[in-house]
Amino acid sequence: MAKCVFCGEKADPVRKLRIGDTVFKACPNCFDKYVETDKKTIYEAVVSAGYYGDTYSLYEWLKEEEAKEKEKIEQIKENVRSFEEWMSGRECGVCPKCGGTMVKLDPIDLLYYVGGLPTINISSFNADSVLMEMHACASCGYTEFYSTEVKKRFDAYLKNKEMLEEALREEEE
Ligand SMILES: [Zn+2]
Ligand SMILES: [Zn+2]
């Protein structure tokens, strides 16, 4: 008869507490009592009950679990730290759609100018493409593009138009 590791009563063959690779056989009552508890509580209950054979390996297992837990927290810490590092200096305003925080993304060559007008050209990066600044909302993902290039080209166009009109006027005279 398989014994419940917590109380020594007959273990339920279906109700097993599985934590990592370690399986603890339990009776229905103990299963219900321990199924939601943490590893350390289970370990202490199993050791003090004395029905589990190899408590040394159990101790090793707990140490391992604690080390894994620590490692996981270190990893989470690192993820938080690296994201905060990435965010620093990028906040650039409030999202016009949802009020979330807008962050500056790294500029990419995305827009391609044809005759002074921007055309999206993702597939082929070209010598005529210009750097675009992108601002994306951290909450809803709304993204804006900024470019000084449009204004520069538009100003040049206005100037050219003016010069052309002047030249045509002179021709007429
Ligand atoms: Zn039990
Ligand atoms: Zn937003």
Where do the domains of the chain lie? 12-78, 91-172
Q: What are phi and psi of 3, to 5 degrees?
A: -95, 150
CA of 99, nearest ligand number: 2
142 alpha-carbon distance from chain centroid: 17
Separation of alpha carbons 151 and 14, rounded Å: 72
Place of tokens 């999206």: 120
Q: Which residues surround the ion ligand 2 when the cut-off is CB under 5 Å?
A: 95, 97-98, 100, 137, 139-140, 142
pLDDT tens for each residue of 16-48: 888 767 888 999 999 999 999 988 888 889 989
Ligand lying closest to the C-alpha of residue 46? 1
- How high is the pLDDT of residue 168? 93
Three-state secondary-structure class, residue 109:
strand
- What was the pLDDT predicted at 34? 92
28: tokens are: 């229905």
Identify the pLDDT of residue 119: 60
Q: Are the C-beta atoms of residues 110 and 94 closer than 8 Å to each other?
A: no
Q: What is the DSSP letter of 48?
A: H
How many angstroms is it from 65 CA to the middle of ligand 2? 40
How is residue 102 written in tokens?
């807008």
CA atoms within 13 A on the CB side of 51: 19
pLDDT per position as a tens digit, 136-168: 999 999 998 887 677 788 899 999 999 999 999
Strand partners, 145: 134
- φ/ψ of 104, rounded to 5, equals -80, 125
pLDDT of amino acid 64:
86
Token digits of residue 155: 């100003």
